[in-house]
Structure 1
Amino acid sequence: MKKYIYTLPLAALIACVSCQEEGLMTFGQEHHIYFEKFYKDAAAPGKEKADSTIASFFFENDDVSEIDAKVVVNMTGRLLEQDATFKLKVVPDMTTALPDEYKLQDAYTFRAHNVPEGAKNQSDTIAIRMFRSSRLKSMPHGVKLTVELIPMGEIQLGQTERTRAVIVLTRDAVKPEWWDTDVTNNLFGEYSSRKYKLFLLNIDKQATLNEDMLRKAPYKAIKLVRQFKQWLVEHPEQAKEEDGSAMTVNV
């Protein structure tokens, strides 16, 4: 029986090994950490716009005093074999929140785990604790907390425009643009954050009443507000504005 020995040129062999190695290095050699959202517009030629994370007590009961702002963090580089840690620091000139309105941990953990095939980065979500304060009642646009990543160990900072994250803490929702004069006169009456909150919590839990419904199917909006009117009648103890006056609608 004849035996045949096949040999590959050295250059071809090296190329083959290199291809196999590149297959393992799905995300590159170094680790860079950055937030999912941009805290300022991306530099050209990028087109991404600045964005913030909203933390609101709007859908919480009045006795809830703290909530978590969920912030997504990304990391490039080889898949982590063990958890990595990093820190956050407050950016004073971009923060209006007071120290008693938030709490940062001493360190945060980026958990090692698998990522979907074809993903360009690893991601994890951290929670920043935010606290209710009495002054939020008089601040419709809320307060702002800006934090900056502090990498630890061999981890490096990623894209500059995503090294910081902006968290906006509010007590109430912003008045919807569709709640105009016609809606005030013919449906809901005068806007109040409490009225809108009770409507969403008890009647329109999916927030289906919007500008599109008012334009294309106003009868649906009327039906929803009439249901809310009945709810107000059946729950007189809750159907009050913050000043104690009776809550009313105009249908």
Structure 2
Amino acid sequence: MTDRSRLDWMTRYQQRLLPIATVVVIVAIWEIVGRVAHWNPLFFAYPSQIWSGAVELAHGPLWSDLRVSGTEFLLGMVLSVLIAVPVGLVLGTSRRLYWAFDPIVGALYSTPVLVLAPLLVIWFGLGIASKVAIVVILSTFPVMINLTEGVRTTDRVLLRAARSFGASRWNLYRDVVLPSVTPFFITGLRLAVGRAMIGVIVGEYIASTEGIGYQINADAELFATPRYLAGVMVIVVFSVAVMELLKILEKRMAPWRHQLLARE
């Protein structure tokens, strides 16, 4: 490969290469500083120690904990979407309903989940249901609010043009509103993923006997810092993977947005 072709290849794939290079540099600096400074693993750990903790977890309860936490996450996200999509579309379409319920939505969205978590545990018990409820509460509102704003900001010129050609209400939704709100929907999902992960971990911290959040809490109490940070890294990797899948979904559902951003 010539220098010119190598440069062209790097330019073409720089969007993928730059994040990888940044992570590699950060991990390398982290490892070097930890070894040179002789960090006490009781207080903090560097990447090779965290890797050892991850290997130890993988030979222990990691996979069963991931199964439990993953189930809580997926059920919570599915229920959140089933609730948020119709409510968000209705609130975005009806001005009066938006005026009536917007303060309530804002109040619920800003309520700290830690205040409600003990009550949810009392209602639903120590099992999976209480964690799913926490995830639903945290992740529903980002999707709902983004969808509502997406509908409300749909280009009025496009709506008038569609009506002038005799488009029915269903055709307006299908051909104008839904394509317009797709980027808002994906953005809401990406925000909801982070909040859903917080909901899973908080729920397992408060009341659980299994799950990755429970394992992190148990390792933290034992001052097993490498294992504790390994559990945190598992959550980070899982969240990043879901975010990347959502980016792929956005490219499929809203290819025009991807092309527009690529020109910038």
Tell me the TM-score range normalised by the shorter chain: under 0.3
Question: Which is richer in strand?
Answer: 1
**Higher RCO (C-alpha under 8 Å, 6+ residues apart):** 2
Q: Report the TM-score when normalising by structure 2.
A: 0.21
Q: Report the TM-score when normalising by structure 1.
A: 0.22
Question: Which is richer in helix?
Answer: 2
Larger radius of gyration: 1
